[in-house]
Amino acid sequence: MILKVVADETRFKMLQYLLERNFCVRALAKQLGLAEATISQHLKIMREAGLVRGEKRGYFTHYQVNREPLLELAETLRTLATIEQKRCLSRMEGCEVSDHCRGQ
């Protein structure tokens, strides 16, 4: 779910701003040049994914990033990137042997 949330360009930009400082909806909307309703919809998705949390300050809610899911995602991607590719199993899987497999 986290990848789907941050894959959206607007939410990715919002995340970048929120990593630097807390914002209320109005300030974030002004910063990004978007409607407050649009920002609210994106924040709802980010909140449901556990990426942000809000803190009520008077009339406004200020949002901040929950960094733990991002750190977990980074660790998962790091682990994924270190998986070593094994030899082709084309004969065992019943596939035709391609030129790519012959070189292994």
pLDDT by position in tens, the chain (length 104) = 789 999 999 999 999 999 999 999 999 999 999 999 999 999 999 999 999 999 999 999 999 999 999 999 999 999 999 998 877 765 666 666 665 565 55
Q: Is the CB of residue 47 less than 8 Å from the CB of residue 13?
A: no
How confident is the model at residue 69, as a pLDDT? 94
- Tokens linked to 88: 């082709």
Range of the domain at 25: 2-65
Instruction: Give me the number of domains the chain comprises.
Output: 1
**Residue 30 belongs to a domain with what CATH number?**
1.10.10.10
pTM here is 0.78
97 within a domain of the structure (yes/no)? no
Q: Write the DSSP string, 21-60.
A: S-EEHHHHHHHHT--HHHHHHHHHHHHHTTSEEEEEETTE
